[in-house]
Structure 1
Amino acid sequence: MSGNAWVRQIHRWLAVAFTVTVVATVVALAREEPVVWVSYVPLLPLALLLVTGLYLFVLPYVARRRGRRAVPQR
């Protein structure tokens, strides 16, 4: 599996982890005495999603730019 495929797979699993942490946070904060620090738990998967998402967003532009350089000028 190539590096890009790994990043895509990690991004997908991070999305699942983020969704689970958000649901757990909503449940934890809905209790009578909510634990406030639980609201910070989704931030880690969200930050990792940002990094992998930006990488995946930039990939086509980098590939297009590299493709232009590979074509010889006449």
Structure 2
Amino acid sequence: MAGSKGIRRFHRVVSMVFMATVVFTAVALTIDSSMAWVSYVPLLPLFVLMGTGVCMWFLPQIARRRAA
């Protein structure tokens, strides 16, 4: 279960980074709309969140199979 706690903690930290990048992107696009590349900044933390979310989704099922 120590791995599960680590993944959850990492997921929380990445979610905070994701929210910060979304706020940064919104502010940057309102100031200067010619910087279209800024809209891609939140994608990296979003993909990491998707990976850790899927991992946390399957952790209880894996633990049940190991216990059986």
TM-score of the pair, normalised by structure 1 = 0.83
Aligned length: 68
CA shift, 1:32, in A, is 4.2
Structure with the larger helix share: 2
**CA–CA distance in structure 1, aligned partners of residues 58 and 17 of structure 2:** 23
Asked if residue 64 in structure 1 is aligned to residue 64 in structure 2, the reply is yes
**CA–CA distance in structure 2, aligned partners of residues 33 and 42 of structure 1:** 16
Identity of paired residues, percent? 47
Query: Relative to structure 2, which stretch is displaced further, 23-32 or 1-10?
Result: 1-10
How big is the alpha-carbon RMSD for the aligned residues of Structure 1 and Structure 2? 1.5
Q: 4+ runs of 1 displaced by more than 2 Å?
A: none
Asked if residue 12 in structure 1 is aligned to residue 12 in structure 2, the reply is yes
TM-score of the pair, normalised by structure 2 = 0.89
5+ residue gaps, structure 2: none
Q: Greater RCO between the two (CA within 8 Å, min separation 6)?
A: 2
Which residue is 2:46 aligned to?
Answer: 46
- Deviation digits for residues 35-73 of structure 1, max 9, x if unmatched? 1111000000001001111101100111112222xxxxx
Which residue is 2:26 aligned to?
Answer: 26
5+ residue gaps, structure 1: 69-74
> Which of these two proteins has the greater Rg computed from alpha carbons?
1
